[in-house]
Amino acid sequence: MSEQESFKVFSGTNSKYLAEKICNSLGCELGNMNITHFADGEFVVSYEESIRGQHVFLIQSTFPNSDNLMELLLMIDAAKRASAKSIIAVIPYFGWARQDRKDKPRVSIGAKLVADLLSVAGIDRLITMDLHADQIQGFFDIPVDHLYASGIFVPYIQSLKLENLAIATPDVGGSKRASTYAKFLGVPLVLCHKAREKANEVATMQIIGSVKDKNVILIDDMVDTGGTITKAADIMKEEGAISVRAIATHCVMSGSASEKVQNSQLEELVFTDSIPYSNRCAKVKQLSIADMFAETIRRVMDNQSISSQYII
């Protein structure tokens, strides 16, 4: 790396596990930073080493709770006030991304608000992965490096050596993503059409296409409550699928999601480690994105293209 001494990597509290793996891949030390909490829940961020004139990479996924986002905003502000040369936010999981438009009257567009907060705080570049909606990149007036977990998932799918493979999406909104996998692998695409009565609760679901005698892999960007993905798996088994697996980038897994997955017809559910997952489930497997993000940081520092990292 041509400017190896001119960049430093720091992490927020709950993404430290990933930052340490990224630093290990980069062959550098994780920067020394202190986050002090007050009795009322407020906290203050301070860098315990000089970052003057440095390119600063701040690793923090903005998953619930909102302290993770607030930590990142304070890290950005502190770096700006400490005379960092540039501030690059590395946000593997970009929270509030489901709020990318007004889908009914009198609601906020949370993703745009978060983009504005990050921009005003002072980031010069964003590195993220598998945004819920691609158009969120347009909410920023700075460079956005949007990575795809397909670089990790495609080799894993190929390693399974499944015959009669079919790629499926648990909802029509993810059809573009699933179609890309199906075309690359040269296998059929199956869609699920779902109707919701309220958020996070699936009322009805219909399968468009045949899954009979197929080994099905469901593709999604995240699993939150687990209701959609497990319902899709159960219906596909009823329709004659040999096996059903699921692959999703972000392991939100709220509430009883782990129990739902364990009791479902899913063979396994594969995530990246963009979000920490502590409520263990025997069917859940996590693949690390650390090398992918480390390579992206290298290429950003060396002014090299990152597009050659993409398989699809």
Residue 204 CB: number of other CB atoms within 10 A? 10
Instruction: List, as one string, the DSSP characters of 185-210.
Output: HT--EEEEEEEEEETTEEEEEEEES-
Quote the distance between the C-alpha of residue 5 and its chain's center: 29
DSSP H stretches of helix in the chain? 16-26, 67-81, 110-121, 150-160, 175-185, 227-238, 257-262, 290-301
Quote the distance between the C-alpha of residue 80 and its chain's center: 26
183: phi then psi, degrees, rounded to nearest 5: -65, -45
Cβ neighbors of 168 (< 8 A, separation 6 or more) are 178, 189, 190, 191, 192, 209, 211, 216, 217, 218, 219, 232, 236
Residues 94, 100, 106: CA angle, nearest 5 degrees: 130
First to last CA, the chain: 26
Report the catalytic residues: 194
- Measured distance CA(172)–CA(41) in Å, rounded: 41
